[in-house]
Structure 1
Amino acid sequence: MSPQRHPLAACVRLCLLLSALPLCAAAQDAPPPEPEPGARTLDTVQVTGTRIRRAEMEGQVPVQVLTREDIDRSGFSSVAEVVQNLTASGAALNTKFNSSGNFGFPPDGGGVGAGAATVDLRHLGAKRVLVLVDGIRWVNESSASGVGSAVDLNTIPLSIIERIEVLEDGASSIYGSDAIAGVVNIITRKDVDGASVQLHYGDYSDLAGGDTWGADLGWGGSSERARWFVGASYFRQDEISSIEYGPAGVPVPGTGLANGSSATPTGRFVFQDPNTGVVYDLTPNTGDTDPAFDPTQTGCERTDGFHCFGTADRFNFSPYNLLLTPSERKSVFGQAQFDFTPTLGGYVRVLYNERESANQAAPEPFFLGTDAGVYNDYAERTLVISAANPYNPFGFDLTTMGDAPNLFLLGRRPVEGGPRRFEQEVETWYASAGLNGLFDVGARSWDWDVNVMRSESKADQTNTGSYNIRRINEALGDPAACAAISGCVPLNLFGGPGTITPDMLAWIQPVVRDRSSNALSLFSANLTGEMFDGWAGAISFAAGVEYREYEGEYRPDPLTVAGEYNGVPSGPTSGEYDVREAYVEFLVPLVRDGWLGKSLDLSLASRWSDYSNFGGTNTGKIGLRWQVADEFLLRGSFAEGFRAPSIGELYGTLSRFDATLVDPCNNAASTTPECVADGVPPGYEQSNPQISVITSGNAELEPETSRSLMLGGVWSPSFADATAWSDRLDLGVTFYRHTIDGAIQALDAQTILERCIFGRDPVSCGFYERNDRGQIVRFDNILGNVGTIRTDGWDFDVGWRLPEQAWGRLGFDWKTTWVTKYELVNEAGQAEPRAPGVEINNSAIPERTSTLSANWSRGGWSAAWSARYIDRLTESCGGANGFDICDDSASDTNALGSTTYHDAQLAWATDAWMKDFRITLGVNNVFGKDPPICLSCSLNGYDASTYDLPGRFWYARVGFGF
């Protein structure tokens, strides 16, 4: 790729040249470590969003800081829960929204991230959020299902965190790729004196299961020339079955079995009798394990043990899913900081994290026949169920071969083999070291640091409850051929539950093992200080260089690679690339105590990146901070950004995602002109709502580019300072706008289908193919640079602290995010369906989310109450018109009402019994609010990426030191 040229970057470069600074621009994606002890560095600070160290950086960039106290008051037990409940957070993977068997393989090549938890800012996706730990990039997740492109926050124990800084603004010019939507910088504990123990337990009082418990141990200290902290953490969360939640009792609440699976424990058989030409759609009668097909009974009134398949025969897969997936995590962490001399220091940090997790889905179905659409020769093109098979009740071959295949669909759910169970073992290790110091340039001190880091995440996944489609093919064929294969046993798919024997299962049911890994190596060097005095103050700078190397691979089971896995197939992925970067940043005071106010500062940044597989690119950022008066601040910035495609996005091989799609041509609609033009015959009925969609990475992908605008202000009125009714009042507002060009993602499959049928869009029609019976048998949706994403909105912040009274001190914090626009427009100028206020594909963008918190303290006692508000949403009824659950059948929409969760906590602390003794009791979702029912959500009848689990969660914690 040829170097990209950006107007803003060029403008910034010109400003840098004019500064006449003879420095080599350099970069790192991570801020340097915290300032080391030394009299000359104690007055400098660094905040996320700028690389310049200096005093009084308050308000330079819009950073939300979550302190240790904020984290403890939340009642949450993981980093992901804390950041996913920010008002600016979008739908992201968590332990409620996690199912390998149902979500298949997404087109980004990252797999389902089973057991992982991520963070999404501004609803732009987890892959567009940069996660740092102490300013250093963290390795991407590995969950044995692909090469992930986002950080698994479950690899970072909550107990080692001092605070979390969240920059909700584009920052590619400061940190490089992935910082389009913002940055999450996790700062670890450093100044610890003595040992500490923290124990916690929690439970969902309205559901069976979900117990969580854990223990955190820590020890820290210091000497004249060193500081250290070591810690160990254990966390365990038990699973909760979907049967614990009433609406999950059917595939889609309020619609009965209409959206259930056509692969049933009794079996569904759609075939043509080669002797008469009659087409049948039959299923055995319940309890009839040996039906005898009578070809003279051509209608639905039958006495041969079969009846015509109908809605009541569909399979309810929901009770086999999980509301909450189990997870067990063990971590050890250590760091030490050294002061070799007053001007030279160093540090070393290490972490090891181990996770065992699992998820579960309904027994894996068999879909065989020309309508199966599973892209597998053994199921679609080379299958013969022999007439000689002792269990074949039809008396003739059922085949998908030749010019006149007669097996259109065989759907069987082998409940005898149990549910699909996916168990992950993930190991993550991290090691970094560095030197830092300062030196004098004239009368000024400059800070420097160099850092090296290596981190790796490896995962193994064991899958039980899946099947070998080649062996199924062999077991259904000629018994003589089966007998010639060692271990082969003829298979019975025709007699209902219990007819698949243990011997049959032993032949067709393997244990599938997959592996993946992600690794990151990094070197960086940084320099920051004041150059010279300008007319309004000292001009400060930061500059640095960085080298990063990414490696990733996914190794599915050899059975999968050979095309014999009956479930979601995928191929191996492997790739690596490196990047060299350099950056420079300036802070230029323009006004001090003049007619324009207290101060006006200009910030400029530029970054150059050179990728081994793309070439070079430049990004720039320009910002203004205007302190109009002591109590009033205005700030704004405009930034360019980019995101390089991940290894999975580039090199991920063909895989399959089973999407739940509603064919607009189903049933009566088949005779409409639009459906006739699409090749649909009269009387067409969609055999299965799950359509196999082939996805893949794309080595031709270009990096995404972005533009981000931020305008805001903070007002701290003096009339609210130190009064009888207020100690301090802060009011803040921020407008944000992000535009991403060449967005890397796949289009919505349902929208593609509807565009083709109703608009005859030739591009959309090229994505899929029907057979002569109208069934969709091919659907390709390869990853690409599909178009432009635009989003904008507002953040509102109110902080109010009351003066201390005899009854204690009270404070309020109110944060609100209002999303005014979100649209993805593809290259053809067509808008995808995702938008504010819309629920789609198991995720949503609420127009407004808000959190109001009240905190009280008196002596050793403290209490907190918070209310978390999620605005109402609407969704398509998904073809469920006529059902009571669809509240507006005329417009085919269903409303998900607004939801408010209330959380409460009470704590007491004392040093009388032992050092830092503290006991905490709390309840999240105090009133047991259930999530709104969702028709379009594929699991458990609600959107688990947006809403809490049903019912209350209570917890208790005790901590002490010595």
Structure 2
Amino acid sequence: MMRERVLSNSIRLLCLSGFALTVHTAFAQEAPATPDAIQTVQVTGSRIRSPNADSPSPLQILNAADIAASGATNLQDLLQKNPTMGTPTSSRTNSNFQTSGGGITTVNLRNMGDSRTLVLVNGRRFVSGVAGDTAVDLNTIPTDFIERVELLTGGASATYGSDAVAGVINIILKRNFNGMTIDAQGGRSSRHDDEKRKLGLTWGTTSADGNSNIMAHFGYTKQGAVMSKDRDFSAVDQFSKMAGDTGEAADAFVPIRPFYSSFTPQGTFIYGTRGADRFTYDRNGNIIPVSTNGSATQAPTGYNRSDFRSIAVPTERYLFATTGNFAFNQDHSAFFEGTYAQTRNSTNIEPFALNSLDIYKASSGQVPAEFLVNGAMVRNPLVPQYLYDRIKDTDGDGARDYSFTRRLAEVGSRHSDADRGTFRLATGLKGTVSNWNYEAFISYGKTKESQVSTGQVNVMNFRNALEAIPGGINGIQCRDANARAQGCVPINVFGRDTISPEALKYVTAPGSLDNSIVQKLAGASINGDLYQLPAGALSVALGWEYRREESSSIADPLTQSGLNAGNAIPPTFGKYDVREAYVEARVPLLKDAPFAKQLSLLTAYRHGNYSSVGGTNSWNAGFEWAPTNDIKFRGTKAVSTRAPNISELYQPPSQNFPSVNDPCEGVTATSTGKYDAACRAAPGVAANIAANGEFTLTQADIQGVSGYDRGNPNLKAEKGKSTTVGVILTPRSIPVLSKFTFTADYFKINIEDAIFGTPRQYSIDQCYSGTNPAFCSYITRWATAAGNTSAGAIRYVDTTQLNSGGLGTKGVDLTASWSDRVGPGRLNAHLAYTYVKTLWNKPMPDADVDENVGEVSEFIGSSTPKHKAVLNLAYKWGDWGISTTTTYNGKVSLDDQFLKGFELPPRSIGIGSKTYNDFQLTYALKKSTELYLGVDNAFDVKPPPIISGLPGNVTGTETDASVYDPIGRRYYFGVRVSL
């Protein structure tokens, strides 16, 4: 009694003290999962309490046993094996080069975009982990605390609101747990990296009457880095080039290896306009010609960036989660949910590549080698005689000028440490009055990220340090007296390791970025039976909700202004709120009638009023028809909405460095290609042709394209239309098939007024093909040669957000499950397969439809095979158990739009299918202790070579690391103890 009283008091305090803060529920999640949940279709996406009904929308379920059998420390690792999932925007293996958000893990149903997949926890919205977006960071969800995960595909905005255009990922946490479990795990890859550590503690207790309970979970995980240099396929900088340029057959691409960076620690110094008017240094300080990638007579002088890059971002997480329910009586209770996650990620890339153009933009990158001091021309004593003798006045100010590029190896690699904290508290009251269920809730969530980075320099200080004259204590001083007073130290950039520690201290500029995301929710709902029909009760649900989203992203002052020589990232602020009301009904039409064991209709409607886009409406209508007990048909038609997120609305011009193909390359004064006339009309291109005979780009030109991304406060909401029709076979009346379940579902999703950033390559093609010259306004070229940049090379390609196009997909999902005794043990089998018939986008109203399925798509930014499947097998025999997961990704080809730029036919260059196999062996040492040993990618399947320069390439991995495994075989060992 004393223990029960203490428990009840504790729960009462937690519930009532938290009630001033949060929650949002889906009554359909109240029914507990059955042991064979993965083989049955559960109710989800509904506000009506109906635990025995099936969903009219396609639904797949992963339970706690699936999570345990995967050995996954992050839910994304498991979800990505499901064939309904597309490529996430962010994961451990594709986010190392992101300006912010490195190591965040998101999900993307149907390859429709992260922001079109709504992630819920216990049927309630969860605060985003990405500034300016709605995407949830799965790092904040403890895997050991999950009971099951429900994947509802198809539009569900009428039920859950905005963002559920492609579907819903509903994460159901454990409840009514008693006792304590401990799960400890360690592992690493076969190359002795990607080290993994995990510790999870879960505790729970329930009152004697079973009505009140409290649970808590503490988790710690640590996943180590994987470096590019430690995998053969990514250890050396390379670039994919059209084979015809390398003496090979002209219908393929071949990797140029090495394809080093021309920005080197010893520097490259330019004293003229010809390609030969430059020099560098060898390791002994001798002046030598530049040969970036080497030749038959000279070793390479370039720089291998892969020595510093990462394949997998190291991630460390501390997680705390708690849930509780206090029953006032049989009909009324209070509940709460609390989560706190602390995540630390580190990203690492090569030292900064500095161009004199970054410092002397006004003078096209020309650095003065001498200065007018007291009426006399004074030479910079740091400029070598070899260079001084060859340079001349290029900008008309009377002083000799030069330009340079240099890798700032003394500054060190560009390293970023991100510390993210996510807090969420939800609380409310729920109960039953006269057979009507009610719930009232409030919720508060906040994600705060502090990012500190190294490897950048202060451009203004660097300029002062470059401009040296004789004088001072050491014989050389900064020219500017004010700079000297502020500690300026002359900087020597001529040669390797020539920058002194004092000069380094003066020019170094550590960076910072602070992100904040706040979500506030409130609402109330009721549901119950309105009246009885001959086939059952007419059930309805009604509710009202309020949601407010706020986000800010603030970089340090130098970064905001672009004065650290890197991306200019201005601060972003934004917020919006929405008030919504919804109604849902379930109408039973027939029951136990001929050819209609059950026939029901379901419908829902939601109206929202956004402060950003105004009114929105969404609805769905579905049916369930079971002619017999063994077969059921289901279908839904839905109209869903997605309001633009904060970044899409309010992002100021933010600098980016995209990869694009210049259609002007190779154009001559007389060539007659599709783009040639428009290319020659650009003054810089014409000057380049005059100097070289044809428009020629250097490696620095290819790697130096920049551009600005912009939001648009005039955006309106997207509208998604989805249709699903399916069949569920459960042939219980046939003994030999009584343990078998099969589902087949057709899906189709089309999005109107889809929000797109104007595609950069599309803008270039539209401009220079003459199809739509208006797109030329997004493109800026160099009018003349500037520093290390050729005349006519693309300088900027900008993009802005518009409701400009459409997006759609259709296909078929199949699942098959079977479970029965086989020999001395029990075998469970589950197969999930998805065939994608089409996945298209139309970024602009006058653009052609671009088909992305079966391609490594530039639009998706990743591989999108037509065929994907996962097969799970588990066999339990006494104390022993073994489980296997086989994941299949079908063959793809390079994007047809990309191939078109090289005048190659679609599907002409393909990438074969990949199959991965994971195994786990378990042994029950005793009733309360289980040991497990697992291996992922057991056969060490190598990723396909998708080299830099090809669509889908993830920088530093030389493959599409969003889809294919770039790490290789990995082992882990763990123990689970129940107390």
Q: Same fold (TM over 0.5)?
A: yes
How has the CA–CA distance of structure 1 residues 153 and 546 changed in structure 2, closer, same or farther, with 3 Å as cutoff?
same
Q: Give, in whole Å, the separation in 2 of the partners of 1:174 and 1:180.
A: 11
Inter-partner Cα distance in structure 2 for 1:872 and 1:600: 41
Q: Does 1:91 align with 2:106?
A: no
From 884, 890, 903, the equivalent of 1:865 is 884
Indicate the larger mover: 822-831 or 811-820.
Answer: 822-831
* Partner secondary structure for residue 688 of structure 1: helix
Determine if contact 2:725/2:747 at 8 Å carries over to the other structure: yes
Q: Does 1:649 align with 2:632?
A: no
CA–CA separation in structure 2 for the residues paired with 1:30 and 1:385: 67
Which of residues 264, 282, 285 in structure 2 aligns to 1:286?
A: 282
Which one of 928, 931, 935 corresponds to residue 943 of structure 2?
A: 931
Residue from 670, 676, 688 that aligns with 2:701: 688
Aligned partner letter, 2:706: S
Does the 8 A contact of 2:43 with 2:52 survive in 1?
Answer: no
Q: Is the 8 A contact 2:268 2:279 kept in 1?
A: yes
Q: Which residue of 2 aligns with 1:796?
A: 814
Q: Is the 8 A contact 1:623 1:636 kept in 2?
A: yes
**Helix, strand or coil: the match of 1:660?**
coil
One of 431, 446, 449 as aligned partner of 2:439 = 449
What are the superposed Cα offsets for residues 880-916 of structure 1, whole Å, 9 maximum, x if unpaired? 99xxxx9x9888954221100011111123654xx3x
Task: Confirm or deny that 1:152 pairs with 2:137.
Answer: yes
Could you say what secondary structure the match of 1:821 adopts? strand
Decide which of 439, 464, 473 is 2:433's aligned counterpart. 439
Q: Is the 8 A contact 2:946 2:960 kept in 1?
A: yes
* Structure 1 residue aligned with 2:513: 514
Deviation string 1:649-708 (CA, Å, 9 cap, x unpaired) is 211111111112232333566863433522223133323323112112211111111111
Q: Distance in 2 between matches of 1:406 and 1:528?
A: 82
Q: Determine the C-alpha separation between the residues in 2 that align with 1:46 and 1:346.
A: 25
- Which of 719, 722, 726 does residue 735 from structure 2 map onto? 722
CA distance in 2, matches of 1:669, 1:245: 41
Which residue in 2 is equivalent to 1:763? 774
Structure-1 separation of matches of 2:834 and 2:886: 14
Residues 381 and 401 in structure 1, CA contact (< 8 A), matched pair in contact too: no
Shift of 1:646: 1.1
Q: Which amino acid is the alignment partner of residue 958 of structure 1?
A: V
Match of 1:900 in 2: 915
Contact 1:195 1:218 survives alignment (8 Å)? yes
> Are the structure 2 counterparts of residues 447 and 910 from structure 1 closer, same or farther at C-alpha, using a change threshold of 3 Å?
farther
Instruction: Map Cα deviations across residues 488-544 of structure 1 (whole Å, 9 max, x no partner).
Output: 22233332x212232222122111111001010111211111101224321111111
Instruction: Tell me: CA distance 1:730–1:46, structure 2 relative to 1, closer, same or farther (3 Å).
Output: closer
Q: Deviations over 1:14-43 (max 9, x none)?
A: xxxxxxxxxxxxx99641496499xxxxxx
* TM-score between both structures, scaled by the size of structure 2: 0.85
> What amino acid sits opposite 1:843 in the alignment?
S
Give 3-state SS (helix, strand or coil) of 1:450's partner: strand
After superposition, where does 1:701-712 map in structure 2 within 5 Å?
A: 701-712=715-726
Is the contact made by 2:838 and 2:851 (CA closer than 8 Å) also made in structure 1? Answer: no
- 2: CA distance, partners of 1:404 / 1:279: 24
The answer for the alignment partner of 1:744 in structure 2 is: 755
Aligned to 2:855: 838
Q: Bigger CA drift: 430-439 or 744-753? A: 744-753
Give the residue type in structure 2 aligned to 1:91.
T
Which residue of structure 2 aligns with residue 42 of structure 1?
Answer: none
Aligned residue among 187, 191, 199 for 2:176: 191
> Residue 215 of structure 2 corresponds to which residue in structure 1?
229
My pick for the range that moved more, 737-746 or 56-65, is 56-65
Q: Per the alignment, in what secondary structure is the counterpart of residue 662 of structure 1?
A: coil
For residues 718-766 of structure 1, give each alpha carbon's deviation from its aligned partner in whole angstroms, at most 9, with x where no partner exists: 46x433xx54122211111111112122133234323433455313333
**Over residues 336-382 of structure 1, what are the superposed CA-to-partner deviations in whole Å (9 max), with x where a residue is unaligned?**
1011011101111111110111111111111233xxxx7x8757658
User: Does residue 1:128 correspond to 2:122, yes or no?
Assistant: no
3-state DSSP of counterpart to 2:657? strand
Cα 1:406–1:209 shift into 2, 3 Å = farther
Query: Using a 3 Å threshold, how does the CA distance of structure 1 residues 874 and 391 change in structure 2: closer, same or farther?
Result: farther
Give 1:19's aligned residue. Answer: none
Residues 96-111 of structure 1 aligned to structure 2 (within 5 Å)? 96-99=92-95, 102-104=97-99
Following superposition, the deviation at residue 158 of structure 1 comes to 0.9
The aligned amino acid for 2:735 is A
Rounded Cα–Cα distance in structure 2 between residues aligned with 1:453 and 1:536? 38
Structure 1 position 383, deviation (Å): 6.0
Residue 386, structure 1, aligned to residue 369, structure 2 = yes
Residue 635 of structure 1 corresponds to: 634
Q: Is the 8 A contact 1:877 1:894 kept in 2?
A: no
Contact (CA 8 Å) 2:369, 2:399: kept in 1 or not? no
Q: Kindly tell me: are residues 128 and 36 of structure 1, through their superposed partners in 2, closer, same or farther at Cα, counting changes over 3 Å?
A: closer
Distance 1:507 1:669, change over 3 A: farther
**How far apart are residue 945 of structure 1 and its match?**
0.6
State yes or no: 1:812 paired with 2:829: yes
Give the TM-score, by structure 1 length. 0.86
Q: Which residue of 1 aligns with 2:473?
A: none
- CA distance in structure 2 between the partners assigned to 1:670 and 1:856 by the alignment: 71
Q: Please report how far the alpha carbon of residue 49 of structure 1 lies from its aligned counterpart in structure 2 after TM superposition.
A: 1.1
The percentage of counterpart residues that share the same residue type is 29
Q: Say whether 1:955 aligns with 2:959.
A: no
- The corresponding residue for 1:218 is 202
Q: Distance in 1 between matches of 2:932 and 2:364?
A: 63
Aligned twin of 1:481: 479
1:490 equivalent in alignment to 2:490: yes
Aligned partner of 1:619 in structure 2 is 618
Contact conserved, 1:208 with 1:240, CA < 8 A, in 2?
A: no
- Counterparts of 1:163-182 in structure 2, within 5 Å, are 163-182=148-167
* Larger RCO (CA within 8 A; separation ≥ 6): 1
SS in 1 for 2:661: coil
- Contact 2:117–2:164 (CA under 8 A) maintained in structure 1: yes
C-alpha spacing 1:390/1:745, structure 2 compared with 1 (3 Å):
farther
Distance between the aligned counterparts of 2:394 and 2:800, measured in 1?
27
- Could you say what secondary structure the match of 1:139 adopts? coil
Give the CA deviation at 1:433: 0.6
CA distance in 1 between counterparts of 2:257 and 2:493 reads: 22
Do the aligned residues in 2 keep the contact of 1:29 with 1:174 (CA within 8 Å)? no
Flag the 1:320–1:765 CA change in 2: closer, same or farther, 3 A: same
Structure 1 counterpart of 2:504: 505
Aligned to 1:427: 421
2:76 aligned counterpart, secondary structure: helix
C-alpha distance in 2 between matches for 1:852 and 1:468: 54
Mapped contact 2:165–2:641 kept (Cα < 8 A): yes
Provide the rounded CA distance (Å) in 1 between the counterparts of 2:780 and 2:399.
18
Alignment of 1:568-583 (within 5 A): 568-583=567-582
* Alpha carbons 1:468, 1:510 under 8 Å: kept: yes
Partner residue of 2:50 out of 46, 54, 67: 54
Residue identity opposite 1:565 in structure 2: N
1:238 corresponds to which residue? 224
**Would the aligned equivalents of 2:165 and 2:720 in 1 still touch at CA under 8 Å?**
yes
Q: Partners in 2 of 1:603 and 1:400 — Cα distance?
A: 76
Q: Tell me, yes or no, if structure 1 residue 875 matches structure 2 residue 858.
A: no
Given that 1:248 and 1:319 are in contact with CA atoms closer than 8 Å, whether structure 2 keeps it comes out as no
Distance 1:747 1:592, change over 3 A: same
Tell me how far apart the structure 1 counterparts of residues 797 and 888 of structure 2 sit (CA, whole Å).
Answer: 39
Structure 1 pair 519–379 and aligned structure 2 pair: CA distance change class (3 A): farther
RMSD between aligned residues: 2.9
Please tell me whether residue 31 in structure 1 is matched to residue 30 in structure 2.
Answer: no
Q: Which residue of 1 aligns with 2:106?
A: 118
SS in 2 for 1:506: helix
- Conserved 8 A contact 1:838-1:875: yes
Q: Name structure 1 gaps, 5 residues minimum.
A: 1-26, 38-44, 105-111, 292-304
Preserved contact between residue 240 and residue 323 of structure 1 (Cα < 8 Å): yes
**Residues 81-134 of structure 1: CA distance to partner in whole angstroms, max 9, x if unpaired?**
12122111111145433445x344xxxxxxx42221000000011111111111
- Check 1:99–1:804 CA distance in 2 against 1; reply closer, same or farther (3 A cut): closer
Aligned twin of 2:238: 252
Mapping of residues 393-432 of structure 1, within 5 Å: 393=384, 394-395=387-388, 410-432=404-426
